[in-house]
Every structure is written in structure tokens, then in C-alpha cells.
Structure 1
Amino acid sequence: MSSFLSLLALPPATRALTGALVGMSLLLFALRLSLAPGDLKGIFGASSDPSLVFPWLVLLPGSVMWYPWTLLTSSFVENNLLEFLFSLFTLPLAARYLERVWGQVELLKFVFVVVVASNIIAVVVNVLESVVLDNKELFLYGMSYHGLMALQVGFLVAFTQLIPEHQVQVFGGIAKVRVKSLPMLYVTVSNVACMIGYQSPYILIQFGWIVSWFYLRFIKLADPTSDFRGDRSETFAFSSWFPPFIQPYVAKVAGIAFELAVKVGVLRAWTDVEMGGYAAVPGAARAEAERRRAMALKALDQRMATKPGSSASPRLATVASLAGQPADNTSSTSGSFSGPSGGSLSAAATSGEVAVGVNAANDVGKD
């Protein structure tokens, strides 16, 4: 009873998505109960996946032309109990947050784009594999795509844009992970699963990551009342997903791909955007401020640690300046910062550090 009341308390779009997940998954479970083990032998060349019997419910690459709606509906069909419970836990939590930030229309558009585009890419990949490897039985009729894995990683990408520095507890609170690290952890799981032979459905994680990032980076409306699209901040660039040592190389490749997309008319150049095209979404601006504040404080800590006689007061002054409030132990720019031991550092010596914090807050509106 309490779980039913909790479902009713969800926002409309989140409630509809959760209801679709429950209804479609329960339908598959009920249909599977009607099958005897012997009925599965010889069906599409595989007996380990009973969902293959229902190509109108899950996505079969070889049957999608006759059941095109499965490009959307198959994502709300979970094939086993563990996946179903995991999706039932994560979908309401993530969708509820995004619906409150974006609104129900933008949430549903995001879900539709990520789910359908990821499934289309999966079908294309399977068709190519069937041709190259000459195995139509396996790649067209022997594996099905289903479940919310593409959407789950899409939600993580959206959270990376909105609250990148927020920390979540994993493994029962044993460890803390920043939100911006979660998408690539999930993609790593997909890579490992695909390498050991579990392409379906884990490869959808990789497609969902790319599609959701592309949509949020270039397509999503920043404001329903405006024509500004995407998030062009450097902190949400494609290279930001990779380790620092490889980011410059990824950035070069991504830059070439972007220029090519501009030439063929798929995307607009940033110069056009700055004159009235794309702009950072409100949530991205807030996230940008959070990122820059954290970077400013980290840089200040490192610089103060290398200076003799440094104290905690310069950091307090910087924090106060970031928040737009005066610090109790700071004077004017011609004065000094006093430490707890009575020592002081001239404002001239620390103006660079304080400027880092001030510019971090002021530059957000300029991006």
C-alpha cells in the first residue's frame, strides 16, 4: 500500500514512465510463464533468451521493420528480476529530479531521444555485424535488446551537467564518488561485458552515453521560451569524460569532428551561437559556478601551502568573496589578511588568489 501511495506522489511524467516499466515488464514475465522449456528449442537459434519469442515486445534487429514501436517500448521491458528491481529503484529517483528541473515535457523528450536513438544505433551495429561476420541467425534473430540501461547512463550524464561535484555514497557508504565520475564507470562496465561476450543489452550503455551527451551538448533547449540550445561550456566538452593525460588528443579529434559537422550543416559553429544560438542551460550555469569555485579553492590551497607563514584567513576571504559576502577578518585591498597567530599577508601577495575566486563566480554568466 505504501509503495502504491509513493507511486501516486511522483510527478506526472515520472509516474507514467514508472508505470510503463512495471506494466511492460510484468507482461513479459506473465508471457514467459506460459512457455515450457521445450518450446524454446529451435526458436531463432537460441534457447537461453525466452524473450526472443516475443519480437513485438522486445527489440529484435531482424524484426524491427515489422514491429517499429519496439524501438521505444522495448526499453521498458526488463528481462530478469534483478534488472527489474534495479530499474524500478533508479527510474523514479532520477526522473523525479530531472522533471522538477526541466519540466515534464523536456524530460519526456530526453527519454524519447535517448531510448530511440540508442536502439536505432544498436540495430545498425547488429546489421553490420551480421554482414561482416556472416551470422544473421545470431545478430539479427538471436539476441534481443531491452531494458533501461541506455536511459540510466543518460540520467547520469544529465546529472553530470547539473550537479557534477555532488558526491554519492556507494557500497553502503564505504566510498564516495562524484557524480561526474559515474557515467564512465557505467561505460566501463559495458566495455567489460561486451568483451566477454555480453553485447546484448550492455552495449546500449555506450550508445546511451554518447546520445545523451550529444543531445544535452547541442540540441536540448536551454529555456522553453528561447531558441538557445545546448551547453557549450568546456567542462561539458567530450574530452572531459576521459583521463587528463589523454584529454588533449581527444579534444583534437572531437574538434575535427565538430568542424566536419559544421561544414555539412549538422551543427552550427560556436561563433554563430555566440551571436544568438546555443547557450548554457540554467542548470549548467549553476554547475559551472560550483565547478569553478571548487577549482579556485583547490588552487588557493595549493598556493598557500607553498608559502611560509600562510594561514587560513586568505581562504576565508576567498570563500566570502565567492559568496558575495564580506569576510570578518579581511580589510580593504590596501590592507592585509590577518592569521590566527597574528601574522599577516599583504593583499598584493594574495590578490591573484582572491581574483581566481571572484572571476570564477563572475565568469559564469559570460559563458
Structure 2
Amino acid sequence: MPPRINIPPVTRVLLITLIFQSFLSAAIRYRQWTEHADIVIPYLTLVPQLSLIYPWTFLTSTLVEGNVFTLAIAGVTLYQGGRYLERAWLSAELAKFLALVSLVPNILTFCVMVLFFTLTRNESWTLTVISGTVPVQISFLVAFSQLVPAHTVTLFRGIISLRVPRFPLLYIGIVTALSLTPLLSRAAFWLALFGFITSWTYLRFYKTVFPDLDSSQPTSLRGDASETFAFAEFFSGPVKPFVAAFSDQIFDILVAMRLCTPFSHAEMSAGHGERMLQRGTGGARAEAERRRAIALKALDQRLNAATGSAANRSSSQPPAQPTGPTVQTQPQTSTQTAMTSQPGPMLGETKFEPDNDEEPGKN
């Protein structure tokens, strides 16, 4: 029997929707094709002049490709990137991320097309088809830049070697060039640009971080405050200082407008080490399991210590009061001798051994 292909649920739905809508769009355009007319489908793709009465197209048009070439690239991207991110983030978080990077770039590109029509009075701007997985593809590249920032991709037997954070801007450049050809529409550049900004902003400031059970980071930690995911890291060395200064000014403006919240020192120090460990080492899962095992062992010993100390206090209390035992202490004479025969070692083991066990986890 051939091996079964395991595709997570959200990725499976994306692939099915992409194939169905793209073939449906192709069939409609084939039946209505004429030599002297450009066919648009306003109820399936987003067309600024015609699609306002079909509001679902602001979301669903992302999963419509206009030709076989872009459909093949979109299918491979969703299959590979969707499976990886869904297993890293879980299905609900991936679905939220995809909805955001599909809806926001489409809305902003819609506004840009209307703005250009207002400035030029050229109706072709409002008849531009806004569709395709371009914002999803670049958002996947941004997510990979967060997860594996130090990873280097080598192409053509070492002729080209690029770190993962360099790929989003390279992708924008390729999309810009292809938008001058029939393969992509003039809206593709804006979809790529807004998809890049939207995905980075969400991952940097708003995405919920799963807390580590044996660390002191708060459970409500959001975003990624690490320096490896700063906006300037997507740019090459010579322009990086200028981009960093400019982005800091923009961030200060957004903070003043209360659109962004600056990271606290606790947030920057709490999750930074764990996130870097998970992104930079191959044995991160084993290390996390080891630390959790140490934490559970220490918790179990502390519970035993609390139980033992409570029993010792209850058994040692009657001899400390010479005024006369109560009715409850009389049947405990034999038990008291057994429990207090070795008080020193039990108390020493339960009180100090957890701290010694926890020391390796801190290094």
C-alpha cells in the first residue's frame, strides 16, 4: 500500500478551497471568454468597482489563482508551509494567522486601488483583480524568519547562500518583476508589501506565546521581543542601521497613538532565552522535557516535605506542652515514636534536595 499523506486539517481545507475556487474561476472565464474583453468575476475575486456587494471576496479571493503557474506555486507553498506552521502553532492559531494576513492586505490594497483611481480618474485601477496567495506566501516567509532566524539556505551548490530573514524582501522583488508580466496583476506588489507588514506586526506584537511551565514568564506574554526578529533584521548590513532608526521612530509614534504597547523588561527577559533555544538547537524538545521532569520532581518532593513537616509538627506538639495531653494525643504514643525516630535525615532530604535538583535546569 502507498504511504498515507498526513495533512493537518487547516492545511487540507486551504488546499481544497484553493483548487476548487481556482478551477471554478478558470471554467467561468473559459465559458465567457471573448477576444476583445477582459473577464472579471466579482463574486469570486475582489474587484474594487464591483465587489462591494460581495463582501466575502475580501477573504476568499486570496485562494483564487489565475493561471496554472501561480496555482502550482501556491499549492506547494500551502502544503509545505501550512503543514510546518500548523504543527508548530496548532490549527487554531494558524487559522487566525491566515485569516488576518488574507483580510488585511486585501482591504489595504483595495484602498490603494481606489486612491489611484481618485488621483488619475483611470477606471482600470478599480477594475484591477485583487486575488492570489501572494500575502499568504510572504507571511509564511516572515513566520519562518521568526522560527529559524539563523538558518541559512544554500542554492546552486553554494553559489547563493542566504539567511531565512532575507527571503521576504527577495520575494517582494520577484513579485514586483512578475507584476509587470501577465502572470500577476498590478495589485500583486501591494499584496506582498501589506502581507509582509501585517504578518510581521502580528507576530512581533500580538501573537500569543505559549508559556513554559517551568519558567517565570507570564502566561499572558504576547509577541516576540527578541532582537533576531526586529524589523531591521530583514535588511542587509549597510542599510540596517538606517532602517532600525526609522522603524524606532515609527514605533514611538504608534506607542504615542496607543496602537502598540512597548515591551517591558520582564517580557524581554522572560521568553527570550527559551525562544532562542527552541529556534536554534536541534535538541530543544528533549531539553524542555528534561526541565519539566526536574520541575515535576521538585514539586513532588516539596509536597512530600509539606506533608512530612505537618505530621512532625502534630506529633511533636504534645511533648512540648507539660500541662497535660488531650484526648486526641493519647492514642498517638506508639505512632509518635515511629515518626520521630529519625527526624533529622527526613527533614534534611525534603527541605534541601529540591533546590539541588533544580540547579541543572537553570544552566
CA separation in 1, counterparts of 2:273 and 2:83? Answer: 18
1:227 to 220, 230, 236: 220
**Is 116-125 or 176-185 further displaced after alignment?**
176-185
Match of 1:27 in 2: 24
Amino acid at match of 1:84: L
The offset of 1:222, in angstroms, is 0.9
Amino acid at match of 2:58: L
Amino acid at match of 2:106: N
- Mapping of residues 312-351 of structure 1, within 5 Å: none
The offset of 1:74, in angstroms, is 0.5
The DSSP-based 3-state class of the residue aligned with 1:37 is coil
1:180 to 141, 161, 165: 165
The answer on whether the counterparts of 2:142 and 2:200 sit within 8 Å (CA) in structure 1 is yes
Match of 1:69 in 2: 56
- Mapping of residues 174-213 of structure 1, within 5 Å: 175-193=160-178, 198-213=185-200
Structure 2 stretches of 5 or more lacking a match?
Answer: 213-218, 282-361
State yes or no: 1:147 paired with 2:132.
Answer: yes
CA separation in 1, counterparts of 2:99 and 2:268? Answer: 24
The DSSP-based 3-state class of the residue aligned with 1:139 is coil
The DSSP-based 3-state class of the residue aligned with 2:51 is coil
CA separation in 1, counterparts of 2:211 and 2:24? Answer: 36
Q: State the percentage of identical aligned residues.
A: 34
The offset of 1:256, in angstroms, is 1.3
The DSSP-based 3-state class of the residue aligned with 1:79 is coil
**Is 195-204 or 126-135 further displaced after alignment?**
195-204
Higher Cα Rg: structure 1 or 2? Answer: 2
The offset of 1:285, in angstroms, is 2.5
Partner deviation per Cα, 1:83-104 (whole Å, 9 max, x = no partner): 1111111111000000010000
Match of 1:16 in 2: 13
Number of aligned pairs? 275
Provide the TM-score with structure 2 as the length reference.
0.68
CA separation in 1, counterparts of 2:46 and 2:116? Answer: 16
Amino acid at match of 1:162: L
CA separation in 1, counterparts of 2:17 and 2:143? Answer: 21
Partner deviation per Cα, 1:286-337 (whole Å, 9 max, x = no partner): 36656xxxxxxxxxxxxxxxxxxxxxxxxxxxxxxxxxxxxxxxxxxxxxxx
The DSSP-based 3-state class of the residue aligned with 1:55 is coil
Amino acid at match of 2:240: Q
The answer on whether the counterparts of 2:51 and 2:57 sit within 8 Å (CA) in structure 1 is yes
Change (3 A) 1:275 1:282: closer
CA separation in 2, counterparts of 1:283 and 1:193? Answer: 40
The answer on whether the counterparts of 1:218 and 1:278 sit within 8 Å (CA) in structure 2 is no
The answer on whether the counterparts of 1:230 and 1:280 sit within 8 Å (CA) in structure 2 is no
Aligned-residue Cα RMSD (Å) equals 2.9
CA separation in 2, counterparts of 1:282 and 1:266? Answer: 27
Structure 1 stretches of 5 or more lacking a match?
Answer: 42-46, 291-364
CA separation in 2, counterparts of 1:152 and 1:254? Answer: 24
